[in-house]
Structure 1
Amino acid sequence: MQNIDFVITWVDGNDEEWLNKKNKFDPRSGDRLNTKARYRDWKFLKYWFRSVEQNAPWVHKVVFVTEGHLPEWLNTSCEKLLIVKHSDYIDSKYLPTFNSNVIELNFHRIQGLSDLFVNFNDDMFLNKPVSPSDFFDNQLPRDIGVFSPIVPTRHAIASIVLNNVEIINDYFSSRSILKNHSFKFFRVHYGKHLLKNFCVLPWSKVLGFYDNHIPVSYNKSTFEVIWEKEGELLQEVSSHKFRQSTDLNHWLMRYWQLCTGAFSPRATNFGQYYNLSNEFDNVLQDIRDSRHAVICLNDSDDIDNFEQSRNRLLKEFEEKYPTKSIFER
């Protein structure tokens, strides 16, 4: 098996220097695409590293992407750790950036990044032991080939997802995708989601894809191909210091892999997305029981008693991962 890296992006929302810089450039208040919940620290990061060491000891490198600040406990000399600053791979004319889309769309420029990598956010955790074949099969990213119409909701990222699909429709049709890769889109282990692929059959245009909000496996060459084809548009997005409704995000690369058949089908129950505002007890139970291999714990401005909620989750993580990892001092 070829080397596989895990890429994780992180921001220290309590860093005064970073906050001053952000406030200097931030022209908006109350923008739901750039709320405080996107930057605040749940203090889960060291448990993310512990979960990687315990559940994926085979990983080649953890590529830790940050604006420049580092946790005081991080073992910067760890051989499995590659620390990357935004300035190491993003063109200086786009910096500083507070836009996660810009940070992720330029991943292929990171020096030393393996051709095969998995994109994590810092709210996505390995929840039980996994193997390389859970993420790649003969160098093909593991993923779910399911269409799903985009459902627009106010203050969400549906507009960004729609922008991705607009580009996809310039190059592909749902009928050609299903004709060329039907055995990857019609799989029993997609469960109830398989019905969506039958529902879109009357339309030739791609209506959208099922996004289950878990870590995404990528081949670096996919980024290079799309930058070659849509470089002007991606440069425009890279100039946006904060997330905007006109952005694209890294799911464009994921969709491209699906459309070209450059993926290996994986069951939909491999991972689970949770919203911490209304699924908190389910999150705690999944951590205790390891129901899913990966979980996403999405923050929300609607969470009451943030400190109390954070402490309860930290307690669960400490009980599950009590041993210091090689990534800690």
Structure 2
Amino acid sequence: MNIKGRVLAMVSACVVIFSQSSIATFALDNQEVLTLPTSVSDLTSAENMGQVVKIHNLHGADEGTIAFCAEMESGYVIYDLSGNTIEYSPTSSSPYSDLQGDLYYAGPLEYLTKTSTDYKNLRTGEILTDEQFNEVTESFTNESIKLSSTNFMSSSASRANSGFRTAVSKVSGTPRKLNYNTSNQCGALAAVINLCYIDDYKDNNCLSDSYSNNPRSLFNTLNNYIPRETSRNGIINGLSNAKKDKICSFTSSPDAYYGGDSWGFCFYRILTSNSPTILLIIKHPNYGGAKGRNHWVLTYGIVQCFDNNNKLVDKYFIVNDGYGKNDIRIHYTYQDDCVYI
């Protein structure tokens, strides 16, 4: 591990000592203690996820624990060393279900195991070298420390769990579960899922029957318009050109929001137009070097968390993850740009 990595690891360790010692006892490597941090327990209780079934230690490049995955009676929750929830789902099974041995994590939606010499992505099958994995887990650790300093769920609010509640807002339809992304094509796939949603629920003239009935064909076509590891402009230009070539049809022009509060913008679109939004998740490594640390998903809902004084204390996106699953909930601090149609 390089010097920067060692510093981040030391800071993470300090965060654990000072922020969690009075709240809960965490699992040590290869040991399971079925106790959740209070803030995580409040969330799982509010979401009716039942009891803890199993807790996995999730490792980083230095083999130390950097996060935990609690498998619940319903769903799962992944939280960092400071007890901050990174992602969860009250309905989807744990990405680490039925797995044994050392398990690894590199930020939202990035789940890995280790081969004899390298690391394997459980979603895409992609192989990472030690150097690549060290880079991406260092990125996640940095974001985790940032989350600890910005998360506005206060300890007093989390302890008042008798009144802690969540409020969910979603679009009226359900995005299609498509799992075609194996080579950093998440931008094109998020666009496909969005176009299918428009065709399914808002305008059935958005796609031809051949594309609507065969979304993989649409995905293959859009890959000629939207590049791998794309930016917001890549998606906007790709969709605009696809529309010109009559690949798809929609009334408004694709545009982007990048004002810093994508969560608020996605919420606004749900309330005012019943529409999902393509969202960029930051500090989410796609293993393509510095410019590849991103992942495009489709946001179709939001979660608001309130304390017993009805004060908003935390919030999450509800996304289609681009790997065949809906109802994955990601903490709002991982937001970046978004694209909408």
Give the TM-score normalised by the residue count of structure 2. 0.27
Give the TM-score normalised by the residue count of structure 1. 0.28
Structure that is richer in strand per residue: 2
